[in-house]
């Protein structure tokens, strides 16, 4: 439940007392919010960032 509201792995690891942020990623990646954010970032990358890189490379 904590992972559903956390903004980053640190917000999960500290209350749980985890010594590593990697242990909290397991919980974070299982949330629907995380999947939605990941999907948004990938869409942005493929729709904006990569085409811009290709255009700048072609201009050189």
What is the predicted pLDDT for the residue at 41? 86
pLDDT digits 0-9 by tens, 8-53: 888 888 888 988 888 888 877 778 887 888 888 888 888 888 888 8
Q: What are the CA-CA distances from residue 8 to residues 3, 14, 24, 39, 52 (Å)? A: 9, 11, 9, 16, 28
| pTM for this predicted structure | 0.49
Q: Mapped to the 3 state alphabet, what secondary structure does 16-54 carry? A: HCCCCCHHHHHHHCCCHHHHHHHHHHHHHHHHHHHHHHH
Please, what is the Cα angle at 21 between 30 and 14, to 5 degrees? 95
What is the predicted pLDDT for the residue at 59? 83
What is the predicted pLDDT for the residue at 10? 86
Which carries the bigger pLDDT value, residue 48 or residue 3?
Answer: 48
What is the predicted pLDDT for the residue at 18? 87
């Amino acid at each position: 439940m904590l992972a559903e509201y956390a903004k980053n792995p640190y917000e999960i690891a500290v209350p749980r007392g985890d010594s590593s942020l990697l242990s909290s990623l397991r919980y974070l990646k299982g949330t629907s919010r995380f999947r939605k954010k990941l999907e948004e970032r990938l869409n942005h990358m493929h729709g904006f960032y990569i085409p811009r890189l290709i255009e700048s490379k072609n201009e050189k």
